[in-house]
Amino acid sequence: MSDFDNSGFIRAHLRPAPLALVPEIRLYQAHPGSGLARLGDAPPYWAHAWAGGVALARHLLDHPGLVRGHRVLDLGAGSGLVGIAAALAGAPSVTCAEIDAAGRAAIGLNAALNGVDVTLSAEDMLEGPVPDADLVLVGDLFYDPDLADRVSLFLARCHAAGRAALIGDPGRAFLPQSLLRHVASYPIRDFGEGPDGPTRPGGVFVFKAFG
């Protein structure tokens, strides 16, 4: 897929639209006619606004002091929603880390759509050194047991190095509740549930580390 025009495909087949809980932000979003299968076998996580990311984005916009003046890393950024919210809330530096090339294309388009600048990284941050950031943001990465373990260990290393972390999650099966302190909840619908689907509490947590 190296010669495929991800940005062109996204502009042609996805629709820019605001989010129900975060109307300040517009994203290119999937719809039934998007034809996302043409982008390959990787699940197009970046084409949807995940519930945990929506809750965390809402929290950042409501509490801009959390990011103002801080270097921010949006880990596993997907659509870039959380990083864009951080930039709109006043973060002077936002890095969106996303290993999927189509996801990085979507982040670039979504950032431009919302009039903010972010830095894109293709690096697998979970395997590298502690990032040069003051605050790590994690929107909805605890849906898989192996990934949840890797993210928890990464956040523990960040915590030991003095980096803070905020997590948004609707209570997925592998959320490490014992490592987190709950700070807020927002009524959200997960993607795929439709505009009339049930809402659930989307939690925002501070990572407090092991022990």
Q: What's the pLDDT at 210? A: 54
Contact, 100 vs 131, CB < 8 A? no
pTM of the model: 0.92
Q: What's the pLDDT at 1? A: 44
Say yes or no: domain 6-207 is CATH 3.40.50.150: yes
Q: What's the pLDDT at 66? A: 97
Whole-angstrom Cα distance, residue 184 to residue 162? 22
Select from 52, 49, 47, 51 the least CA-distant residue to 106: 47
Q: What's the pLDDT at 41? A: 57
- Over residues 177-211, the pLDDT tens digits come to 999 999 999 998 876 666 667 788 899 999 997 54
Q: What's the pLDDT at 43? A: 62
Q: How many CB atoms sit inside 10 A of residue 67's CB?
A: 26
CA 9, chain centre distance (Å) = 21
Q: What's the pLDDT at 38? A: 65
Beta strand spans in the chain (E): 15-18, 26-29, 71-75, 93-97, 119-121, 135-139, 164-169, 180-188, 200-207
Q: What's the pLDDT at 211? A: 41
What does the pLDDT profile of the chain (211 residues) look like in tens digits? Answer: 456 788 998 999 899 999 989 999 999 998 776 667 666 656 688 888 899 999 999 999 999 999 999 999 999 999 999 999 999 999 999 999 999 999 999 999 999 999 999 999 999 999 889 999 999 999 999 999 999 999 999 999 999 999 999 999 999 999 999 999 999 999 988 766 666 677 888 999 999 975 4
Per the rule left: phi > 0, alpha: psi between -120 and 50, beta: everything else, 76 is left
Q: How far is CA 161 from CA 80, 81, 129, 157, 164, in A?
A: 25, 26, 10, 6, 9
